[in-house]
Amino acid sequence: MKYLVTGGAGFIGANTVDRLLSDGHTVAVVDDLSRPGSEKNLAWLREKHSGFSFFRVDIRDAAELDRTFAEGRPVDAILHFAAQVAVTSSVSDPRFDFEVNALGSLNVLEAARRHSPEAFLLLTSTNKVYGALTSHAVEERDGRYRFSGLPGGVPESEPLDFYSPYGCSKGAADQYFLDYNRIYGLRTVVFRNSCIYGRRQFGIEDQGWLAWFVIAAVLGRPIKIYGDGKQVRDVLFVDDLIDAMLRAVERSEVTQGQAYNIGGGPENCLSIWGEFGPLLAQLRGRPVEVEFDDWRPGDQRVYISDISKAARDLGWSPKVGVGQGVELLFDWVTNNRSLFE
């Protein structure tokens, strides 16, 4: 198959492109290389693979993006990962956040509609489209927060409640992708991802918290916890996400027009410091010092994905447990310290 991957030099993008090329697919990578680490990921892909094409394009530039799609047409599948990914950045610069996430995604849809209308399109959205989930009671028990209900996690039927400019911009892209299936017949699917982590992730304080904590612990950098560290997230190793995305492509007749909550689910969740801190200390061989600060806007005390719809439609479930995945990430950071210096 022929794939076009926006944000293909980012964390999820680079891992996905590596898998696709390893499986013998043809790939066009679109990225503006603005995110820290993206140039290193592109260099890694070029060292490991030959034959893929690269287009340095900002998805906000509709004309240039259109030319890129025209040059590469037609493609079988488009994976849209390019995004502004930090809530804090969206609060400080909501216009940039909107232009990348909402307008940029519309540009991708329009370019696809003109040049590859038969392609399957997948958007990586976010659990932030559900907002702060204030309608669900949360209790503290055993040093972590948990929903009083929702034992299986948050389902796709949860009402959307965009909170923060980031939630609004990604939510708009999310809905545009679904509506282009209804209105124009494009074969689109939306993945509302929870916390994805893994190798090639250059996490920073504002985004990619699990990777950032590992990087900071390995390099001896300060770690700040916003809130009390008892907030709970489900986490998913990037290899498992890629498995789910490729199954969505393979089963397009079932998945088109659908949204899926994708994460580790109830079996792969932990409190971000009460439980993750000791795990990191064990891998490091000594305690990790942290500083605590106020909660950030829109920070959910609990988010766990109900992944039963993905299990049913994709025949998919996570294979990499939290302990194994974190150890794989810790070893990669430890063995590649020079990438972060």
Q: How far apart are CA 65 and CA 139, in angstroms?
A: 47
Q: How far apart are CA 193 and CA 4, in angstroms?
A: 20
Beta bridge partners of 123: 80, 190
- Would you give the distance in Å from CA 46 to the centre of its chain? 23
- Residue 310 to residues 143, 263, 268, 286, Cα–Cα distance (Å): 30, 10, 15, 38
Strands (E), the chain: 2-6, 26-31, 53-56, 77-80, 120-126, 138-141, 144-147, 187-193, 195-197, 224-226, 232-237, 258-262, 269-271, 291-293, 302-303
Residue numbers annotated as active site: 166
Q: Count of CB atoms within 10 A of residue 10's CB?
A: 28
Helices (H), 28-92: 38-48, 62-72, 87-92
CB 128 within 8 A of CB 101: no
> What one-character DSSP code corresponds to residue 127?
G
CB 130 within 8 A of CB 259: no
Q: How far apart are CA 140 and CA 189, in angstroms?
A: 35
